Amino acid sequence: MTQLHSSEIGAPSAEVRFAREIARAVVQMPEFASLGPGRFVQAATYGPGERITGVVVQQSAPEVFTAEIHVVLTEAALQQAFIQQPIGSAYLLQLADAVRKVAHQAASRVAGTATLAQIDVAFDDVA
């Protein structure tokens, strides 16, 4: 029989801890108005009594996780992306790289021995 310690009952899963940290970090980036809800299905990570919308963290192998981050661009960022940036700058790709970097940094704070192997970034909308 499996025994649970009281501290483990209701403790957030690794997915939830990752998602929480990533969401907290990404939403602070000035280019984003908020995290996105997803396009076709609700993009969220679910934990006991908790839902982190906009970040989907899943375990793909032992100690290996993947993340899907949905963001809503601000008008200003869109403006910058398509009007003010020099030609060839691929601003959205730069922004996606920045999101990945922030997500990796955030995840490293709670990762322990786990790794975030893949991060998908979806620009869901403009607000």
Partner 1 sequence: MRNVFNRIVLLILSILAIVFGILALLILGGLVSPAQLSPGGFLHGLWSSIGMSSGPGRTTALISSIVALGLGLVFLGIELLPGRRAGEFVIRRDGLGTVSVARNSIDELVGRVAGSVPGVREVREDVEKGDKGLRVWVRAAVAPDVVAPDVARTLQEQVHTALQNNLGLPVSEVRVSTQLASLEHTQRKRVR
User: Cβ 71 to partner 1, closest distance in Å?
Assistant: 10
Please choose, from the candidates 123, 112, 38, 24, the residue with its C-alpha nearest in 3D space to the C-alpha of residue 72: 123
Q: Alpha-carbon distance 100 to 22, whole Å? A: 10
* DSSP codes joined into one string, 15-79: HHHHHHHHHHHHTTSTTEEEE---SSS--EEEETTEEEETEEEEEEETTEEEEEEEEEE-HHHHH
- Residue 17 vs 81, nearer CB to partner 1: 81
Judged by the rule CB under 8 A, the positions of this chain that interact with partner 1 are 39-41, 56, 58, 66-67, 73, 78-79, 81-83, 85, 87-93, 96, 100, 118-126
Instruction: Record the tokens describing residue 39, joined without a space.
Output: 């396009």
User: Cβ 40 to partner 1, closest distance in Å?
Assistant: 7
User: Cβ 16 to partner 1, closest distance in Å?
Assistant: 15
- Residue 10 vs 94, nearer CB to partner 1: 94
- Residue 21 vs 96, nearer CB to partner 1: 96
- Residue 10 vs 105, nearer CB to partner 1: 105
